[in-house]
Structure 1
Amino acid sequence: MKLYPIEAGNFKLDGGAMFGVVPKSLWSRTNPADSNNMIDIGARCLLIEEGNQLTLIDNGLGDKQSEKFFSYYYPWGEFDLDSSLKKHGFHRDDITDVFLTHLHFDHCGGSVQWNKERTGYEPAFKNAKFWTNKEHWDWAINPNPREKASFLKENLLPMEESGQLHFLERTQGSHFYDQLNFGVLFVDGHTDKQMIPHIQYQGKTLVFMADLLPTAGHIPLPYVMGYDTRPLLTLSEKEAFLEKAADEGFYLFMEHDAHNEIITLKRTEKGVRLDKTYTFNELFNS
């Protein structure tokens, strides 16, 4: 097995929304805001090469939305999905599987693109299976008013219409299952049935954090996003995970932290806190 970090592009989100009830005077110490109160956000994906299988976990915002849409999210930096894949010797047509932690637009928007005539949409990975779970799919295509702006029909329906959509089956009686060469933790605080991949690699447990832990600045328990549908559930899910991650020495792959690729945790008198930060290359390619 080989892993590759894939940078799908950076953007910005409102700092207040990202930290919920926590005052700016506290969260801005780790996540400084610009004059519009926006903080840096990444769309760092993960590519898993295992034999003939090439699995991409999440794929960013994509590029099919309108200029007005992107103006809300202030794209910045030089990263994009295709150039990041090319850097590692791959093309999107090489991808066999696209695993989507959940179906908010900043995680699955790159799944779908305009067709050549720009008259409709088509899957952006023509040879891939798209993986979600049935419960989350039903949640996304019949969205509640709070999440409706995050579940965009143009990101979802073309995957189903193409016949490339597949549902992962959850092992009965367990929060983990083994498919696509990794295990998954299901969490429900941010959105219903978000999936958090756990990958065994070079003797380490690497966890793709998605929106369970958006940035290193979100480690303290009350630092929960305003976007979360069940913030008290997020708090308990996060507490259980962070304690396990600190005790078992997990390496956390940060999808949304634009400035920290991988982090580890430690227990302190104030609870679980940041231990060390790593780049992917210094941890696995040194």
Structure 2
Amino acid sequence: MQLYTIDTGLFKLDGGAMHGVVPKSLWNKVNPADESNMCSWAMRCLLVEHDGRLILVDTGIGNKQDEKFFGHYYLHGDDTLERSIQAKGFSMDDITDVFLTHLHFDHVGGAVKREGDRLVPTFRNATYWSNKAHWDWAVHPNDREKASFLKENILPLEESGQLQFVETREGEEWLPGFRIRYVQGHTEAMMLPQIRYKDKTILYAADLLPSMHHIPLPWIMGYDMRPLDTLNEKKRLLAEAASGDWLLFFEHDYKNELCNLQQTDKGIRSGDVIRLAAL
């Protein structure tokens, strides 16, 4: 197995929404806001080369939305999904699987592209993986979350015939060395890859822990549908990660790619900051 970091660019979100009940006087020290209270966030994906397959975990925001849409999110940085994949020595057609942690626009937007007047899967040779519970949640969204589930990001995957549903249960292997952890607090049935790599366990934290600074238990996004579930999921998985000496891979932390954990008198906190390429 070989893992590669795939950076797809940066965007901005409201700092208060990203940090929930945590006061700005605290979070502004670690991710300073601009004059509009917006903070920069990464859209960092993971490429897994394993047993003849090339699996992309999440796809970033993509480039097919209109100027008005992107005007809300202030895209910046030089990285794109395609350039990052090519920089690792692969083409878009080499991708065999796209594993979608969940179907919010900043995770699935790059899965679909415009081809003339049509919307088609970006990766024509890939199988796209979601799960039935989350898919149903996304295509029949609640009023609070529906702005994050865009039909143009989702329905073309089903229409193409390239969509399949993961049937692996909590904690079981989807592929050898690639387990799936399910969490329900951020959104229904979000899937977190737990990958055994070079004698280390790496948890792709997605939106359970969008950044290293979200490790303290009260740091929970205002976007989460069930924040108390997020709290309990963080307690459980952080305890497991700390005892097992796992690494956490952060999708949205624009500075910190991975870290390990340490036990302190204030609870579990980040330890050493690490880059995937250094493993």
- TM-score class, shorter-chain normalisation, is over 0.9
**1-structure distance, mates of 2:186, 2:32:** 23
**Counterparts of residues 101-116 of structure 1 (less than 5 Å):** 101-115=101-115
TM-score (norm 2): 0.98
Match of 1:165 among 163, 166, 170: 163
Alignment pair present for 1:179 and 2:177 = no
Distance 2:114 2:34 in 1: 33
Does 2:234 align with 1:243? no
**Counterpart in 2 of 1:57?**
57
Counterpart contact for 1:247–1:266, Cα < 8 Å: no
Partner of 1:142: 140
Match of 2:228 among 229, 232, 235: 232
- Counterparts of 2:50 and 2:271, CA distance in 1: 30
Partner secondary structure for residue 13 of structure 1: strand
Cα deviation 1:173-227 (Å, max 9, x = unaligned): xx21212441010000000000010000100001111001001111111110000
**After TM superposition, what 4+ stretches of structure 1 lie above 6 angstroms from structure 2?**
none
After superposition, the C-alpha distances for 1:46-70 in whole angstroms (9 at most, x for unaligned) are: 0011132100000000000011111
Query: Which residue of structure 2 lines up, in the alignment, with residue 204 of structure 1?
Result: 200
Q: CA separation in 1, counterparts of 2:55 and 2:234?
A: 26
For the pair 1:98 / 2:94, whether they are aligned, the reply is no
Q: Within 2, Cα distance between the matches of 1:154 and 1:277?
A: 37
Residue in 2 that maps onto 1:25:
25
3-state DSSP of counterpart to 1:43: strand
Structure 2 residue identity aligned to 1:266: Q
Q: Deviations over 1:227-284 (max 9, x none)?
A: 00000110110111111111111111111101001111111111111111012222x2
Aligned residue type for 2:139: I
Local SS of the residue matching 2:82 = helix
**Secondary structure of 1:235's aligned partner:** helix
Unaligned residue ranges in structure 1 (runs of 5+): none
Letter paired with 2:186:
H
Partners of 1:192 and 1:80 lie apart in 2 by 28
Residue identity in the other structure for 1:177: E
* Alignment size in residue pairs: 278
Q: How much is the aligned-residue C-alpha RMSD, in angstroms?
A: 0.9
Distance 2:204 2:216 in 1: 19
Structure 2 gaps of 5+ residues are: none
Report sequence identity in percent.
54
Q: Read off the aligned partner of 1:203 and give its amino acid letter.
A: D
